[in-house]
Amino acid sequence: MLAAAAALAFDMSSVLALMYPGRERVEITGSDDTTYVYACRPGSAGETPEAQAQKAHAAFEENTRKFAEMFVGRLMQDAEAGEPNVNGALTLSLQTNSWAGAITTHLEKEYGCALLG
């Protein structure tokens, strides 16, 4: 049974190579001790993919912190104003989606990295 399952397994590096040609898979340990995986290319000044991933992750953590502060602030304002939870939740959901798209684009353009997980 295990042999059959092993035969179906595949190497994710081949998928990564197809999706992100010319990039290396880099693991970064975040300030929360979570491992984050990036697909990065070398920097324009010759920085290694590892160096690019370090810079990208620092930007990701800082941006996440700022977004979380805004998110909590908005929740507090809505609670104090007595606004319906549905409206506030919808607005925050839309802002979260927008933020996710913006940080993804920023990491790609600035550092040549894609956050994989």
Residues 79-109 have pLDDT tens digits of 787 766 677 778 778 888 898 899 999 999 9
Does the pLDDT of residue 113 top 60, yes or no? yes
* Between 52 and 11, residue with greater pLDDT: 52
Task: Please state the length of the chain.
Answer: 117
**How many Cα atoms are found within 13 Å in the side-chain-facing hemisphere of 45?**
4
Please name which of 37, 69, 70, 71 lies closest in space to residue 56, comparing C-alpha atoms. 37
- Give helix 85-111 / helix 49-81 axis angle, nearest 10°: 160
90: left (phi over 0), alpha (psi -120 to 50) or beta: alpha
Query: What pLDDT digit, counting tens, does each position of 1-28 carry?
Result: 444 444 444 455 567 667 878 899 999 9
- Residue with the two structure tokens 């697909």: 39
